Structure 1
């Protein structure tokens, strides 16, 4: 009878699985590396979990209280036509605004996590280099970052949607909950090209501040967020046409209150956001590989 080593014998008596060998651990890391890095990314987020939670809860609460008891009341009181809803009906300003606020929250989170967090991973905290020295590949690290971002985006937009329900701003909750995922597309459609760009930067010389001032803010103001895009001057309307925020907002409005829109345009919104997200992810994975190989 073959005698088991002491460690394996102890595991057999306790009914435990034998520990993985180094080769088995490495093989598992190569297969599931992106999920391992995402797990680390989410655990790291626990270090500022109260900031994340207060942002996810406080932002929708302040916006909806301000809009619902302030601006929305004034606009509804002075607007005879209202905003177009499904089947020839009209909706209140708060209902019209809701999907845009959810998509904007995703855009803001994505701009935060794909700028200074990436710079920190390469330069300040160098959190990418330890995993890169393990069996995890550079592409898996980039993908793990994206998976962690998806987790935070779903958390933020999900909480925002709950507040919209509490404020009665979702006339069609049966389909309205899908705006969580259309907002996710906005975050990824904007965030993946930004992630690819951030992965090329070696010094912070104000590039991220410029992104906030000259890209994020114009997208927020001129993407049909507060009023229908066709009411804006032609000189700035093009910003909405190329903005992932506008495409996501329009999808959310279709789902939330049946905003009248041609099905072909709805398909264009989805395809445009998927192309931005997938193309940006491909570039980001390539830039991570180049950067971590150096």
Structure 2
């Protein structure tokens, strides 16, 4: 019950701001698909022996879906968490009630999962008129998208709880988020990367989410198998949950 009470706080806040997310949920994905999938994709598709097996738009569409989940998770697990500790101190206000530290954290993580799911469903609706959905399994694509969001959001909760300045988020973006978005199979197969970079891509949660989303929308097998990719994402979530709980406990109870 405590987790649901914490979730209710975030949903109540979202009721006042949801209109600002409509543009980013529909218009931005559509423009990006046109810019990359249609415009750049026409050059990629014109090359003989492209090797993707599908039109470039159909290839990057599910990758962008997973990447969007990552971006939503980043947005919900950095400044909102930091401000709840340091600026508006809403976590401290919650802790003054019967809510436990774990319930406070889980409520926010559950809100992150819901925001990620909504963004993933919106992206699927954008992909539909482009003809990029080739399987009924596409309906399941929001599930790996949510796993990607939690796999990145949970450890970032712990990071946001530990830092004493929001300036550290710039480091997180430059050294983790941007490289992961560029080199985790969203825009091109990771097999074309050098071995060290390919190993980092395999270790990242985004690549596993991209593989699952692409398999769902195209109706094709994944590189490692569905359960292997899911297991890696669940391992990231479990480790991130433990890290986040430790950080929240330190800030709210020590």
Q: Does 1:290 align with 2:250?
A: yes
Q: How many residues align?
A: 254
Q: Does 1:68 align with 2:37?
A: yes
Residues in 2 aligned to 1:136 and 1:244: alpha-carbon distance in whole angstroms: 31
More displaced, 251-260 or 187-196? 251-260
Q: Does 1:141 align with 2:104?
A: yes
Which of 265, 269, 287 does residue 229 from structure 2 map onto? Answer: 269
Which of 14, 21, 33 does residue 45 from structure 1 map onto? Answer: 14
- Name the counterpart of 1:127: 90
Instruction: Tell whether the 8 Å contact from 1:153 to 1:184 is kept in structure 2 after alignment.
Output: yes
| Rg comparison, structure with higher value | 1
Instruction: Tell whether the 8 Å contact from 1:82 to 1:93 is kept in structure 2 after alignment.
Output: no
Which of 142, 146, 150 does residue 180 from structure 1 map onto? Answer: 142
> Cα distance, 1:82 vs. partner?
4.3
- Name the counterpart of 2:171: 210
Instruction: Tell whether the 8 Å contact from 2:84 to 2:90 is kept in structure 1 after alignment.
Output: yes
Which of 193, 211, 222 does residue 232 from structure 1 map onto? Answer: 193
3-state DSSP of counterpart to 2:250: helix
> Cα distance, 1:129 vs. partner?
1.2
Q: Does 1:257 align with 2:207?
A: no
> Cα distance, 1:81 vs. partner?
4.6
> Cα distance, 1:291 vs. partner?
0.9
Once the two structures are superposed, what CA deviation does each residue of 1:209-244 show, in whole Å capped at 9, x if it has no partner? Answer: 000111000001111111111012224222211111
Residues in 2 aligned to 1:261 and 1:103: alpha-carbon distance in whole angstroms: 14
3-state DSSP of counterpart to 2:152: helix
Q: Taking structure 1 as the reference length, what is the TM-score of the superposition?
A: 0.82
Instruction: Tell whether the 8 Å contact from 2:151 to 2:205 is kept in structure 1 after alignment.
Output: yes
Q: Does 1:97 align with 2:97?
A: no
Q: Taking structure 2 as the reference length, what is the TM-score of the superposition?
A: 0.95
- Name the counterpart of 1:8: none
> Cα distance, 1:285 vs. partner?
2.0
3-state DSSP of counterpart to 1:284: helix
RMSD, aligned α-carbons: 1.5
Instruction: Tell whether the 8 Å contact from 1:115 to 1:198 is kept in structure 2 after alignment.
Output: yes
Instruction: Tell whether the 8 Å contact from 2:2 to 2:103 is kept in structure 1 after alignment.
Output: yes
Which of 168, 171, 175 does residue 131 from structure 2 map onto? Answer: 168
Q: Does 1:244 align with 2:244?
A: no
